[in-house]
Amino acid sequence: PNAHALRHIIIDIIPELEKKTDAPFIVLVTGRVIYREYEYLKKMKHPRYIYAGFVEDVDTYFTGSNIFINPLIYGGGVKVKLVEALSFGLPVISYASGAHGVDLDTTASKLVIIKDSDKKAFAEAVISNWDNKNKLPPEFFSSYSWTVISGAVSQRISQL
C-alpha cells in the first residue's frame, strides 16, 4: 500500500499540485524500506520530493509541516500516522480507503476525505487546506489518546 501511495504522490499528485499553484512546496516522506523489491522507491526523484528515510523522531517532521497527505487506497485498519498527524494539529487530506476506521465526528474539518484515486480533487483539497488552522474537538483526544486506548484494552483484558 505505501509503495503504491508513494508512486502516486510522485507521478500524479505532485504534478497536479504544480498545475494548480505557483506556491513553493516540498513533499517530504519518511519511513523505511524493509524489503528488497521496494528499494527502487529510494531512487525515485522529483524536484519537489524528498525521501528522508527512517527518522528517529517523526514528531519533528510533523511539527515542521503544513499538511499531511495520505493517498492510500489499499490496506486496512486505522492508519496510526494519520491519527498522529491530526494530534499535531495538521490538516490531513486522505483518500477514503486511507481514512477507514477514523471517526469523522471527532475530526471536525481537519480531516478531508477524497474519493479514492481522484488526484485532481486531492490536489485541490491540499491547496485549499494548506493553512487550515481549525482546532480538533476535545472528542478527538478523548477517543484517540493512548491513555484512553490502553485503559480500555486493560479493562477488556481484566474482564476475560
pLDDT of 76 > 70? The answer is no
Give the pLDDT score at 43. 85
Closest C-alpha to 85, from 104, 72, 67, 101: 67
pLDDT band at 71 (very low <50, low <70, confident <90, very high): very high
The arithmetic mean of pLDDT across residues 108-121, rounded, is: 96
Is residue 13 scored above 70 in pLDDT?
yes
Tell me what pLDDT residue 108 has: 87
Instruction: Answer whether residue 78 shows pLDDT above 80.
Output: no
Q: How far apart are CA 106 and CA 143, in angstroms?
A: 8
Q: What percent of the chain has pLDDT over 90?
A: 69
Q: How confident is the model at residue 55 (pLDDT cuts 50, 70, 90)?
A: very high
Kindly list the distances between the CA atom of residue 9 and the CA atoms of 16, 57, 94, in Å, as whole numbers in the listed order: 10, 23, 12
- Rounded mean pLDDT of 149-155? 86
The strand pairing partners of 50, in sequence order, are 28
Pick 75 or 31 by higher pLDDT.
Answer: 31
37-41, 50-54, 136-140 — which is least confidently predicted? 37-41
The CA distance from 11 to 48, in Å, is 12
Band of residue 77 on the pLDDT scale cut at 50, 70, 90: low
